[in-house]
Chain A
Amino acid sequence: MTDSIQAHADEKPAGLWRWVVTTNHKDIGTLYLLFALLMFFIGGTMSMVIRTELFQPGLQFTDPLFFNQMTTMHALVMIFGAVMPAFVGLANWQIPLMIGAPDMAFPRMNNWSFWLLPFAFSMLLSTLFMPGGAPAGGWTMYPPLVLMTGDAFPYLIFSIHLMGLSSLMGAINIIVTILNMRTPDMPLMKMPLFVWTWLVTAFLLIAAMPVLAGVVTMLLTDRYFGSSFFNAAGGGDPVMFQHIFWFFGHPEVYIMILPAFGVVSTIIPTFARKPLFGYASMVYATASIAFLSFIVWAHHMFTVGMPLVAELFFMYSTMLIAIPTGVKIFNWVSTMWRGSMTFETPMLWAISFVVLFTIGGLSGVMLAITPADFQYQDTYFVVAHFHYVLVTGSVFGIFGAVYYWLPKWTGNMYNERLGKIHFWCSVVFSNLLYFPQHFLGLAGMPRRIPDYAIQFTDWNQVSSIGGFGFGLSQLIFVYVVFHAIRAGRKAPARVWDGAVGLEWSVPSPAPYHTFQEPPKLADGQLQSEGV
């Protein structure tokens, strides 16, 4: 009986049509990851335009308006097109494998939540070719400026609606899968941390995305239907937009970093060959960060002129985030302490994540200090801060995850030497790219400007060189993945000798259908533990 079900379910349409109609979590995970990679390169190309223009003072390559289109689109593409879909792709591949489920809870909705994305981004990217160009008011879409966007405006709003729908359906799917489809002997407090962080992230998505959808709809009615939510002349309030936007925007920051915490909490114990120091405190820290993310939003807008009491409240609440974040960092270091470490590529990404994310976290503490923030706000110091968190944090986390699980997905090992070259190039160039931006911001360079005073020249040149190097390094990654699929040597089921978890109990590559029958939790443990 089981055999016949399996044989039947393995039938799939040939060619490209398979990918259009697939409801298999592994196929959809692959689609998400490839889509994210494509967007990573499109968004990256835009940042190359930005860094080229900023290589020296004066206007060389772009009109200031086109420059603003580039900064706006770079952010939208990277956040909604690259980082978020990459994490959803990892969730699709890994969550069912890690909890012993045969697939996601709603396979057909899963297909639909992916296939909304190509439409959303076709709409968004098509604005580059429209009269008047793409949105140029910043990804934060502050009115009244964003309301001056040309024909691109409704495309911007509706593409965000589509992305939001896609994220919401993905989040619902993930929550239902995690809560209902775990193998029966896996209680919540025995779930792998990657699954925990995604569970919390999915709740953040459900709470935050409708707020974004609402606020952009208000922009739409202000522009086309005569409402005055944000129009001061009509009795509206442009600052209200910022409050609502950042009520979405701050949880969004954690949506992009929590799954990376989960990845790092998986990789470090594997290569330290030692259990995670404090599993329970990691779970509680994740939940605390998620809670705090809803009460700190106004630290993105300290300079709008809030009452003193509000400024004090948001300063204190923001500083509080340092505590659970510190707990996480101390946990990772303690896990490494007295381990038996080896440094395969995934471990290198994880260690660099701990160091560089901590740098981003520390500059975050500085930004929380309201009086100092009056100087830092809207300068390159902020740009440096969030790129440390988002690139050397989230993106490095994603790279770590891909190197860690790629052998499970493809059945082949990647080339370790090339992987390390990719890592070292990325880590050197990303620091060359972002670290000098701290200096630029402190010295007084505002963000989002196409041209600058001459005292900012030197560090901008260093930063641009770092940028070109970082961009080119990512081509190595594409080759590594391609090479692993075509010519990598065969990987065993348990790819890493210290790896724990149910995903390592299935062969590599993971069969098209796994865990038709719920596995035993012990299947994922190491033999030596004798469970």
Chain B
Amino acid sequence: MNGIKRIVTGLTAVLLVQAAPVVQADYTLNLRQGVTPISREIYDLHMIILWICVAIGVLVFGVMFYSVLRHRRSQGAVAAQFHESTFVEIIWTLVPSLILVAMAIPATKTLIAMEDTSNPDLTIQVTGYQWKWHYRYLDDEVSFFSLLATPRDQIENRSPKGEHYLLEVDQPLVVPTQKKIRFLLGSNDVIHSWWVPDLGWKRDAIPGFINESWAWIEEPGTYRGQCAELCGRDHGFMPIVVVAKAEDEYRQWVASQKVAQQSEQALSEQEWSLEQLVARGEEIYNKTCVACHQPGGVGVPNVFPPLKGSPVATGPLEAHINIVLNGKQGTAMQAFAGQLSDLDLAAVISYERNAFGNNTGDHVQPTQIKAAR
């Protein structure tokens, strides 16, 4: 019923406001060639099969439409009564078989190359969450979450859409060029699928499994993709951005990440004021919590509970910390203990207890979170 109501309000909104003019981008008709040797092989394979299919189509439809034009009663055609011909039937079984074999040989070669994940230069673990990606560089102990960066105003048609609408993230996956990168894919909750068309493949991220795949990116650049397996409400809003850099630039980036992670840790040791925590918490909320609990903490009726005036966000502090840290079994509420730092957890919990009219005045220090873990 809620959906029907939204349709009605949506229709009126569009009729009245007429959504902001959409930036016209180039559309494409065909598969992308991509930026790895494998993606080019796949592109070539795709083109070969496509042209074979087109040729078969032209031939079969050609014969058929010739027949439709010439063998019609209105043209005085008299029906022949021939049927059954073993010779013809053997031909039209054999010829397609040969074409299929011709297709299967290059396909098999490419497939074998794709599945060879041995001897990587570096390994990145990709973990799907509802609805964001987590990247861990196994060789460098760098890790972070990557979330949709498109503002809600653009999604809800209150401001014009940018060039990379829905295909932009707060923190992209940075990788070196000219290296064999092995990806290990897994999931924290439901099945996702990690797909960057320019790399030539997608691979499912499945809870309880570790899938492998690899890429060798030739050129520096920014490559965009998104989750390809239905994973719940915000499946359409978990993009992937890969930034490929030359080796030395990549090394610099890794070093800067390590410094940033250390200073983040130092911040967690400090005492924070309520205002500071709430300000920081609002940012975290809008990135991490808003997809379910919604702007204003109102939730989605019967699906995602509201935080505004909720017994958790206004009741005992321990229970609130516990549910944010450990999640709630059997629901979409995840355990955030492994996802956010002590400081960010303290900030977001403080924010939730002081926003949306929940004026508890409580404020949680990072050290309390550390103790509660």
A binds B: yes
Determine whether the beta carbon of A342 is less than 8 Å from that of B73.
yes
Chain A residues within 8 Å of B296, by CB: none
Instruction: Give the contacts of B32-72 with A (CB-CB under 8 A).
Output: 32, 38, 41-42, 45-46, 49-50, 53, 56-57, 60-61, 63-64, 67-68, 71-72
Chain B residues within 8 Å of A312, by CB: 108, 111
Most buried by A among B22, B209, B229: B229
Determine whether the beta carbon of B230 is less than 8 Å from that of A137.
yes
Chain B residues within 8 Å of A334, by CB: 88
Q: Classify chain B: how many residues form its interface, as a range.
A: 35 or more
| Distance to closest chain B CB from A374 (angstroms) | 4
Asked whether B263 is an interface residue with its Cβ less than 8 Å from the other chain, the reply is no
Asked whether A379 is an interface residue with its Cβ less than 8 Å from the other chain, the reply is yes
Determine whether the beta carbon of B73 is less than 8 Å from that of A451.
no
A441-B104 Cα distance, complex, nearest whole Å: 23
Asked whether A8 is an interface residue with its Cβ less than 8 Å from the other chain, the reply is no
Determine whether the beta carbon of B104 is less than 8 Å from that of A319.
yes
A335-B67 Cα distance, complex, nearest whole Å: 10
A290-B49 Cα distance, complex, nearest whole Å: 25
CB-based nearest A residue for B236: A449
Picked from A63, A320, A322, A354, the residue with its CB within 8 Å of the CB of B300 is A63
Chain A residues within 8 Å of B235, by CB: 64, 68, 448-449
CB-based nearest A residue for B96: A326
- Interface readout for B277-318 with A: 1 if CB under 8 Å, 0 if not? 000000000000000000000001111000000000000000
A61-B5 Cα distance, complex, nearest whole Å: 9
| Distance to closest chain B CB from A234 (angstroms) | 10
- Interface readout for B93-114 with A: 1 if CB under 8 Å, 0 if not? 1001100100110011011101
Determine whether the beta carbon of A333 is less than 8 Å from that of B67.
yes
Interface hit among B193-201, B245-253, B358-366: B193-201
Determine whether the beta carbon of B30 is less than 8 Å from that of A56.
no
Asked whether A14 is an interface residue with its Cβ less than 8 Å from the other chain, the reply is no
Determine whether the beta carbon of A148 is less than 8 Å from that of B190.
yes
Determine whether the beta carbon of A303 is less than 8 Å from that of B204.
yes
Picked from A274, A326, A355, A371, the residue with its CB within 8 Å of the CB of B45 is A371
- Label chain A's interface by main secondary structure: helix
Determine whether the beta carbon of B230 is less than 8 Å from that of A68.
yes
Chain A residues within 8 Å of B92, by CB: 326-327, 330
A44-B76 Cα distance, complex, nearest whole Å: 42
- Interface readout for A230-259 with B: 1 if CB under 8 Å, 0 if not? 001100111100000000000000000000
A303-B79 Cα distance, complex, nearest whole Å: 50
| Distance to closest chain B CB from A245 (angstroms) | 13
User: Given A66-B6, A327-B92, A450-B236: A443 and B227 within 8 A (CB)?
Assistant: no
Q: Classify chain A: how many residues form its interface, as a range.
A: 35 or more
- Interface readout for A152-174 with B: 1 if CB under 8 Å, 0 if not? 00000000000000000000000
Determine whether the beta carbon of B79 is less than 8 Å from that of A338.
yes
A375-B204 Cα distance, complex, nearest whole Å: 12
A interface, CB within 8 angstroms of B: 49, 52, 56-66, 68-70, 129, 131-133, 136-138, 142, 144-145, 148, 150, 232-233, 236-239, 272-281, 303-305, 308, 311-312, 315-316, 319-320, 322-323, 326-327, 329-330, 333-343, 351, 354-355, 358-359, 362-363, 365-366, 369-372, 374-375, 377-379, 439, 442-444, 446-459
Complex A-B: 17 CB contacts under 8 Å? A59-B156, A59-B157, A63-B2, A66-B3, A68-B233, A69-B3, A148-B190, A304-B204, A305-B211, A315-B107, A335-B83, A341-B73, A341-B77, A371-B45, A372-B49, A378-B195, A443-B29
B interface, CB within 8 angstroms of A: 1-3, 6-7, 10-11, 13-14, 19, 22-32, 38, 41-42, 45-46, 49-50, 53, 56-57, 60-61, 63-64, 67-68, 71-74, 77-85, 88-89, 92-93, 96-97, 100, 103-104, 107-108, 110-112, 114-115, 154-157, 161, 163-167, 185, 189-191, 193, 195, 197, 200-204, 206-209, 211-212, 224-237, 300-303, 331-332
